[in-house]
Amino acid sequence: QALEPASVTKVMTLLLIMEAVDSGKISWQDTVTASEAAAAKGGSQVYLKVGETMSVEEMVKSITVSSANDCACAMAEFLAGSEAGFVEKMNARAKELGMEDTHFVNCTGLDDEPSAAEHLTSAYDIALMSRELLLHHPDIKKFTTIWMDTVRNGAFGLANTNKLVRFYEGTTGLKTGYTSSAGHCLSASAQRDGLELVAVVLHCASSPDRFQSAKALLDYGFANYALVPVQEGEPLSPVPVVLGEAGTVQPVPSGEEQLLIDKSLRQSVTRTVELEPSVQAPVSQGQRLGTLTVQADGQILAEIPLVAQEGVARLTWKDLFAGVLRRICMAGQVE
C-alpha cells in the first residue's frame, strides 16, 4: 500500500550519498556549503546558516542520527546541483531496485509543499532500499548505531530518534519518520547470530507504537528463522580435467553462502552433491560442474550450481609433444 513515509524517505537519500562515497565520487572530508534553500528547511534540523560549511561526514551523521532536513537538502544539492536534480536520481534508483509503489518529490519526506501529496512509497519498497543500504554500504552503521553524539566540534548535540538503538539487542539502524499526515514511521534493522532483519512500519498512531510494532516483527523473525551454510565440512572433491594445463578444477557453490530457513527445519538439513565425472579443457571460470541440493524433511530448499573456481586452459600440441618426450625420457631412465 502506497503511503507517506515522512523522514524514512532519507533511507534513499543516504543510499545515494553512500554510493557516491563508496565509489570515490565524494569523500568523507569534502566540504559542503549550506544554501539558502537548505538553511530554510523546517522540521528536524541542525539549524544550518546560509554559507555554513560542514564535512560530508558531519552531514551524514546529522541526517542519520537527528534526521536533519537542512543537511539532507545540502547533500542533495552537493551531489546533484539541486534538490530537484537529486530527486530525479532518487526515483531512478528506486526503479532500479524494483520499488514499484514509490514516487519521491523531495529528499526529506517533509509534507510542507502541495506536491508532497504525491510523495508515496510502501513498507515493502522501504525494505528493499533499506536492505540495499545495509548490505552494500555497511559503513552507514557507524552512524545508524550512534545513540548520542555531537557536531560543530562538540557545540551541537545529537540524539538518535531511533530508540531501538539503545533498547533493542542487536539494532543496526535505521531511520524514523513523522509528520501529522504520515503518522509515526520506522525502518528498523537488527542483527543476531549472523542474521540481519529489516522491519518496516508506517502510519502508526504514536512513537511508542512504532517501536513496539517493529520489535514485534523483528522478534518474530529471530524466533522463527535461521541461517544455515550452503556447504559444510571439507571442500568438495576436485573434478578431473581432460587435456588441461591443470589436472583438476575445484568446484565451489555459486551465489549465496547461506540459506534462510524455518528454524524448525534446522536439525534435518541434508546436502547431496552431484558432480561431472570429468570435464574437457578448456574450462572457463564459473563453468557449471554440478549441483548441490539442500533438503530438509523431504523438501528441496535449494538447488545450487557448483561452478569452476578458476579457469583451466587446454594443452597445446607443443605441450602434448613435450609431455610425450618427458615420458619417453623417464622410461629410458627406468630401464
Q: Which of the residues 10, 41, 141, 175 is marked catalytic? A: 10
Q: Which of the residues 35, 62, 66, 67 is marked catalytic? A: 67
Give the CA dihedral 154, 171, 209, 198, nearest 10 degrees. Answer: 120
Counting Cβ atoms within 10 Å, is residue 298 exposed (0-12), middle (13-18) or buried (19+)? exposed
Residue pair 260/227 in contact (Cβ under 8 Å)? The answer is yes
Please report where in the chains the cell 524514523 appears, as a residue: 176
Q: Which of the residues 7, 35, 66, 187 is marked catalytic? A: 7
Please report where in the chains the cell 515493502 appears, as a residue: 124
Catalytic residue at 175? no
Spatial CB neighbours of 31, under 8 Å, sequence gap ≥ 6: 53, 54, 55
Spatial CB neighbours of 185, under 8 Å, sequence gap ≥ 6: 5, 6, 7, 8, 176, 177, 178, 201, 202, 203, 204, 210
Query: First vs last Cα of the chain: how many Å apart?
Result: 84
CA–CA gap between residue 146 and residue 152 (Å, rounded): 16
Counting Cβ atoms within 10 Å, is residue 317 exposed (0-12), middle (13-18) or buried (19+)? exposed
Catalytically active residues, by annotation = 7, 10, 67
